[in-house]
Amino acid sequence: MAPVVDWCPCSAEFCRAALPPENWSGTRPPLTSNDGPQMTTPAEDASETSSWVDKLGDIMERWVPDALTTAILLMVVLIQFALLVGAGGEPTFSAYYRGLWMFLSFTMQMTLILVLSLVISASPVFTRIVGAIAKIPRTRAGVVTGAALCCGCLAYVNWGISLAMGPVVAIYFCREAEDKGIDIDFLFLLAVMAGVGSIWQFGLSASAPLVMADPDQKLVQIEGVTTMSLSSTIWSTASLVHVAAFVTACIVAGCWLMPRNGKSISQFPDALRVAEISNTPAEVVSQGTEPLTPAKQLEHSRLLLIPLIAMLVAWLYFHFFVKERSVDINTVNTILLLLGLVLHQSVHKFQAALQNAIKLSWPIVVLYQLYAGVAGLIQFTPVGETIVAVMEPIATPYTLPLLTAMVSTVVAIFIPTSGGQWAIQGAVTSQLALQVGITPQRALLALSVGDHMGNLLTPFWAVVGANIARVDFRLYFGYRLIFAALWFVIGVLCFTFLPC
């Protein structure tokens, strides 16, 4: 009997158990007849777009270091900058000292968001629901619209779930479309999912707005501003219009610009296998003939979770109805924990999914502390004031959202985390916003536009999605740039002219 493949569609790391290491370079040696399905990267179908995208990918791979290395380089640059603007050696070191460990609480919150999202994505319930929805559309426009709305809803609820499930949504909808004879380009639909997934920036797991909604937050200190209600950030008129307009634009672009006679899902047999594997249990445990011990019976019992689930429900009731508080990061994590326990139905299954999810989360545990040190250099030395002074002459209520989005795009290329970026830029951006006469909320939302623009322009997150879908990211990376442009233009217009 062939060995059981321990794979789950919720992350690139889990996929490594299903594919041999040579697949992760984007190519694979020729297969023998016994090797099974092969990842498809047809050279004969290469276009001018994929050619320049290959060059872009090569340049990024050659010159852009990983996040940890970048954080160190950024620290060195800012130390030099602080000394250049007259901070002095001791004040510069003191600023780094003050900042280095100020993100500890925030780090754990972000880690839990990612881990618990991946735990939920590992649940068979999710893929079964997506599979059922994918059977509904009967036309090309229906497939694009259904997939976009499905992924958009996931993204609005939680960024981790949409990151894990977006490629799976594309696979299910393309499989059903091909069965019905509907022409859908699988690679382009992957790009549509990546585009629509951007709306998490103004959804229920938006890092910076949730942090600023917490009265006890100490991440970014803004003079005269203690908290920012969600009604003034993610639920403002500008944000709601942006989400609706961008999702609509993605659907229109998906229907109008999708290549005719494109690459169907059947040309990517490894991707097609995702739909088959995701309908099987993520973990197969051989129990043999021996009965479970009393301890193991407890671990597998659904009844054991009832007290914990009851307490989590009570916590949410107390938070919303007794304390009358709004949604914050702790609330989101409580809901994610509750959903993870309910969907996995036992301590044993939950812990198995949790162990796999934690493998993906190790980088941010250290990275956020390095970002905190960098934030300290900006906030507690003249560096921040110098940046404000440089931008102030050209900053107006109508130019600052554009300037903020452009600067945060550049920063996001090197710092692939929304929370870390807000921690570094938040105080400076808010200070400049107050000086030119607009609200810090408007500045925060414009910064979020640039943050995800950087995510769409770099291969970092594209590779994660491609690994889940089992394709070479270069095959669809060029399509993502279409949605990056839509995201930036719509975002700057909304957060320049609409109320927030």
Q: What is the pLDDT of residues 65-94, one digit of tens each?
A: 666 777 788 889 889 999 998 888 999 999
Instruction: Quickly count: other Cβ atoms within 10 Å of residue 422's Cβ.
Output: 28
Lowest mean pLDDT among 5-19, 227-241, 341-355, 427-441: 5-19
Report which of residues 345 and 143 the model is more confident about.
143
Buried b (16+ CB within 10 A) or exposed e, 427-462: bbbbbbbbebebbbbbbbbbbbbbbbbbbbbbbbbb
Residue 170 corresponds to which amino acid? A
Say if CB 177 and CB 272 are below 8 A apart.
no
Per-residue tokens: 449: 């536009």
Report the C-alpha gap between 393 and 473 in whole angstroms.
41
Per-residue tokens: 375: 């934030």
Phi-psi label, residue 125: left if phi above 0, alpha if psi -120 to 50, beta otherwise: alpha
- Average pLDDT on 221-239 reads 84
- Average pLDDT on 157-166 reads 84
- Average pLDDT on 217-228 reads 71
- Average pLDDT on 163-182 reads 90
pLDDT of residue 180: 92
DSSP reduced 3-state for 168: helix
pLDDT above 60 for 287: no
% of the chain with per-residue pLDDT over 70: 80
Report the C-alpha gap between 396 and 169 in whole angstroms.
42
User: Which band of pLDDT confidence, cut at 50, 70 and 90, is reported for residue 435?
Assistant: confident
Lowest mean pLDDT among 181-195, 409-423, 472-486: 409-423
Nearest C-alpha neighbor of 67 from the set 364, 307, 457: 364
pLDDT of residue 61: 57
Nearest C-alpha neighbor of 36 from the set 79, 61, 5, 69: 5
| pTM score | 0.72
* Per-residue pLDDT tens digits for 455-479: 898 776 787 788 778 888 878 888 8
Say if CB 175 and CB 135 are below 8 A apart.
no
User: Which band of pLDDT confidence, cut at 50, 70 and 90, is reported for residue 58?
Assistant: low
pLDDT of residue 31: 34
Say if CB 277 and CB 18 are below 8 A apart.
yes
Report which of residues 490 and 432 the model is more confident about.
490
For residue 108, count CB atoms less than 10 angstroms from its CB and return exposed for 0-12, middle for 13-18, buried for 19 or more.
Answer: middle
* Helix residue ranges per DSSP H, 345-382: 347-358, 362-379
Report the C-alpha gap between 159 and 200 in whole angstroms.
5
pLDDT above 60 for 433: yes
Sole residue written with tokens 């009265």: 215
Sole residue written with tokens 């004969």: 44
pLDDT above 50 for 403: yes
Per-residue tokens: 71: 């954080």
User: Which band of pLDDT confidence, cut at 50, 70 and 90, is reported for residue 7?
Assistant: very low
Report the C-alpha gap between 286 and 205 in whole angstroms.
37
- Average pLDDT on 223-236 reads 84
pLDDT of residue 462: 80
Report the C-alpha gap between 449 and 439 in whole angstroms.
16
pLDDT above 80 for 48: no
Per-residue tokens: 448: 């979020």
Report the C-alpha gap between 169 and 269 in whole angstroms.
16
Instruction: Quickly count: other Cβ atoms within 10 Å of residue 299's Cβ.
Output: 16
Per-residue tokens: 236: 């403002």
Mean pLDDT value across the chain: 80
CA atoms within 13 A of residue 138's CA, in its CB half-sphere: 0
* Helix residue ranges per DSSP H, 207-304: 207-212, 237-257, 269-277, 294-300
The residue length of the chain stands at: 500
- Average pLDDT on 121-129 reads 82
% of the chain with per-residue pLDDT over 90: 34
- Average pLDDT on 261-265 reads 83
pLDDT above 50 for 5: no
Report the C-alpha gap between 350 and 291 in whole angstroms.
21
pLDDT above 70 for 351: yes
Name 364's Cβ contacts closer than 8 Å, sequence gap at least 6: 107, 110, 111, 114, 417
Per-residue tokens: 47: 């276009």
pLDDT of residue 430: 86
CA atoms within 13 A of residue 136's CA, in its CB half-sphere: 14
DSSP reduced 3-state for 327: coil
DSSP reduced 3-state for 415: coil
Residue 191 corresponds to which amino acid? A
pLDDT of residue 147: 96
- Average pLDDT on 180-198 reads 93
pLDDT of residue 308: 93
pLDDT of residue 152: 96
Nearest C-alpha neighbor of 9 from the set 197, 191, 162: 162
Report which of residues 436 and 227 the model is more confident about.
436
pLDDT of residue 21: 34
Report the C-alpha gap between 363 and 68 in whole angstroms.
8
